[in-house]
Amino acid sequence: MPAFKMLNRNFLSKTPVQRRATRLSFFNLGFAMASWAPLIPFVKHRLGLDHESLGLLILCIGIGSMLAMPLAGMMIQRVGCRFIISLASIIFVLSLPLIGGLNNIFAMAAVLTVFGMASGATGVAINLQAVLVEKKSIKPLMSNFHGMCSLGGLVSALTMTGLLSIHLSALHSAYVLSVLVALIALFSAPAGLTHVADNSDKDNEEVPKKKKKIGLPHPIILVLGMMCFITFLTEGAALDWSGVYLTTNYQVPLSIAGLAYGFFAITMTIGRFSGHHMMRWFGEKNLILFSSICATLGMTIVVIAPVWHLVLLGYALVGLGSSNVVPVLFSRVGRQNYMPKAQALSYVSSIAYSGVLCGPALIGFVGQHVGLTFVFSGIAICLLSIAICNKFTMVEEAKAH
Residue 395 resides in a domain: no
Q: Which of 8, 19, 281 is nearest to 138 (CA)?
A: 19
pLDDT score at 395 = 66
Which among 260, 258, 268, 259 is positioned nearest to 232, based on CA atoms?
268
206: domain range?
2-390
Q: Taking the model in full, what pTM does it have?
A: 0.70
More confidently predicted of 323 and 359: 323
Backbone angles phi, psi at 36, to 5 degrees: -75, -35
For residues 28 and 136, which has the higher predicted lDDT (pLDDT)? 28
Query: Does residue 398 form part of some domain?
Result: no
Classify residue 284: in a domain, yes or no: yes
CB within 8 A of 103, min separation 6: which ones? 46, 47
With a cut of 50, say whether residue 400 has pLDDT above it: no
Closest CA to 242 of 288, 176, 163, 301: 301
Measured between alpha carbons, how far apart are the two ends of the chain, in Å?
30
In a domain, 164, yes or no: yes
Please report how many Cα atoms fall inside a 13 Å half-sphere around the Cα of residue 377, on the Cβ side: 10
pLDDT digits (tens, 9 = 90+) for 238-260: 877 787 788 778 887 765 767 78
Mean pLDDT within 7-16: 52
pLDDT in tens, 160-216: 877 877 878 888 989 999 999 999 999 888 776 666 555 444 444 444 444 444 457
Q: Which pLDDT score is estimated for 195? A: 63
> How many residues in total does the chain contain?
401
**More reliable by pLDDT, 151 or 136:** 151
Any idea what the CATH number is for the domain that residue 122 is in? 1.20.1250.20
| Number of independent structural domains in the chain | 1
Q: What is the pLDDT of residue 50?
A: 78
DSSP H helices in 283-340: 284-304, 308-322, 325-335
- On whether residue 30 sits in a domain, the answer given is yes
pLDDT of residue 290: 92
In a domain, residue 401? The reply is no
Say yes or no to pLDDT of 346 above 70: yes
- Dist. CA 61–CA 64, nearest whole Å: 5
Q: Does the residue 109 lie in any domain?
A: yes
Residue 129's pLDDT band, with cuts at 50, 70 and 90, is confident
- The confidence score (pLDDT) of residue 212 equals 45
Residue 157: which pLDDT band, with cuts at 50, 70 and 90?
A: confident
Look at residue 397 and tell me if it is in a domain: no
Backbone angles phi, psi at 169, to 5 degrees: -65, 160
169 vs 4, which has greater pLDDT?
169
Q: Is the pLDDT of residue 283 over 90?
A: no
